[in-house]
Amino acid sequence: MQDDDANHRIEWTKALSSAGESTAGMGMMFFQTRKFVVSLAEGVATASTMGTVRAVIVGCVVLPACAQVSWGSPPPPPPASLVRSVEAASCGPRQKTTPEQVPVMLAAITPESIGVHDGRLGKLTWQWGVHISSSDQRVAKVTGLLLDADLGLVATTENRDWLALDLEHGTLDGIKTVGVATMRGAPGRPTAPTSLLSSYLVSFPDQGVIERFASKCGFAAEAVPALDVSGRPFVSAMTGVALSYVGLAGDDGSAVKTALVLPYERRTVSLGGQDIPSLPGFRLVALSNPSQIVPFLLALWGSANSGEARLQQIHVVAWDDVHGPGEKSDAVDLAMFSRTPAAMASALAQRTSRIWVFLTFDTPERGGFDIVGLSVQALRD
């Protein structure tokens, strides 16, 4: 898959392994955007984002209609001065540090506890699931999930900590420790962490701000103001879109309000668009873009009344002017959960055209949290 500028190409390379779909012996996938590599499963994808991302993605065989996906306003490259200033403010003289390794206890969770039967939940396939607990009270209350090349599978917590989860072998079953690091300078309760532009963006809805943590120094990074959110709702869900944009969303109880921004400098934003269709009776919990490129998002919804949750794939046809003319976004139901997840992350395995979904569930009665891995075939028209 390649655009018309060889210097800014998006290319998919061959799979590293031919391992099957089962957890045992599962292969590895690396999804790379600039220096962003995520260990997942089954293949290798690389993308260069140095300079302007061109308008049209061609030759796509993974997602429906993506040969027609285009951006009306390709983003300019991030100024080098921005990257340098963020790194200086967020990292200072600090280098990357290894998070404190905290011993954990694992227990298997039954698929039926989230609504899975015979290995299936709607269109999703069960892969694995574990309950993680620890005598260290910091290993609990997950508020967001992030897949990152350097940090791996990372959770943010209500206690303003990072949790590093070792997904090296495609599953968390068998891990002995979890890395814990303080989220330096976090102004409030973090949620919706997203990798973008040599940084990790994290929303703090209780403070109405989005902070930036430079990826150069990893867990040693200090929060640097990125975006101020005016009015209501505040940003409770956030995801990368078209490599350089970040999609923001919040649910005011009656509708999902959205905005799409290039987070190149500190600015004030407000959520006023309605590019993501609301789901009556549910509130938006999380958004994730498995490919980071085309506008097929996963939307996780929770019901305050029943405790149930729904997962949808949403084709965001028009998000401001980035994805072309204003056609209505459509949604496809993927699964209904008997419990509401607290956080979600996802990624696309190019070789098998499968989307991997990772979800966490609060377990206040037991301490710690449940985390599961599921997969679904990327949908086609």
Q: pLDDT tens across 175-188, in order?
A: 999 999 999 999 99
pLDDT band at 350 (very low <50, low <70, confident <90, very high): confident
Decide if pLDDT at 236 tops 70. Answer: yes
Mean pLDDT of 328-333: 81
DSSP state of 379: P
Decide if pLDDT at 48 tops 70. Answer: no
Q: How many CB atoms lie within 10 A of CB 6?
A: 9
Q: Which CATH number fits domain 80-377: 3.40.30, 2.120.10, 3.40.50, 1.25.10?
A: 2.120.10
* Residue 149: partners with Cβ closer than 8 Å, 6 or more residues away: 30, 32, 35, 36, 37, 38, 39
Type of residue at 295:
P
Q: Which helix (H) or strand (E) holds 361?
A: strand 354-362
**What is the rounded CA–CA span in Å between residue 366 and residue 57?**
47
Residue that wins the pLDDT comparison between 310 and 46: 310
Helix (H, G, I), strand (E, B) or coil at 155: strand
Q: What are phi and psi of 213, to 5 degrees?
A: -120, 120
Q: Enumerate the β-bridge partners of residue 108.
A: 130
Cα within 13 Å of Cα(340), Cβ side: 18
* Residue 90: partners with Cβ closer than 8 Å, 6 or more residues away: 199, 212, 213, 214, 216, 217, 221, 222, 223, 224
Predicted local confidence at residue 14, as pLDDT? 22
User: What is the rounded average pLDDT for all residues in the chain?
Assistant: 77
The top-scoring range by mean pLDDT among 39-53, 183-197, 326-340 is 183-197
Cα within 13 Å of Cα(20), Cβ side: 3
Q: Which of 361, 377, 282 is nearest to 113 (CA)?
A: 361
pLDDT band at 320 (very low <50, low <70, confident <90, very high): low
Residue that wins the pLDDT comparison between 381 and 185: 185
Q: Which of 282, 252, 253, 254 is nearest to 270 (CA)?
A: 252
- The runs of H, that is alpha helices, within the chain are 80-91
- In angstroms, the Cα distances linking 29 to 17, 50, 122, 233 are 9, 22, 25, 36
DSSP state of 319: S
Decide if pLDDT at 49 tops 60. Answer: no
Tell how many helices (H) and how many strands (E) occur in the chain. Answer: 1, 27
Type of residue at 349:
A
pLDDT band at 253 (very low <50, low <70, confident <90, very high): confident
Structure tokens at 380: 């086609």
Structure tokens at 214: 């430079």
**What is the rounded CA–CA span in Å between residue 271 and residue 331?**
21
Q: Are 105 and 133 in contact (CB under 8 A)?
A: yes
Q: Which of 1, 22, 21, 23 is nearest to 10 (CA)?
A: 1
Decide if pLDDT at 20 tops 60. Answer: no
Predicted local confidence at residue 318, as pLDDT? 67
Give pLDDT tens digits for 84-139. 888 999 998 888 888 999 999 999 999 999 999 999 999 999 999 999 999 999 99
Q: Does the predicted model carry a pTM greater than 0.85?
A: no
Decide if pLDDT at 24 tops 90. Answer: no
Q: Which helix (H) or strand (E) holds 81?
A: helix 80-91
DSSP state of 120: E
Q: What are phi and psi of 270, to 5 degrees?
A: -140, 150
Buried b (16+ CB within 10 A) or exposed e, 164-176: bbbbebbbbeebe
Q: Are 213 and 221 in contact (CB under 8 A)?
A: yes
pLDDT band at 74 (very low <50, low <70, confident <90, very high): low
Residue with tokens 């994730």: 288
Mean pLDDT of 314-329: 63
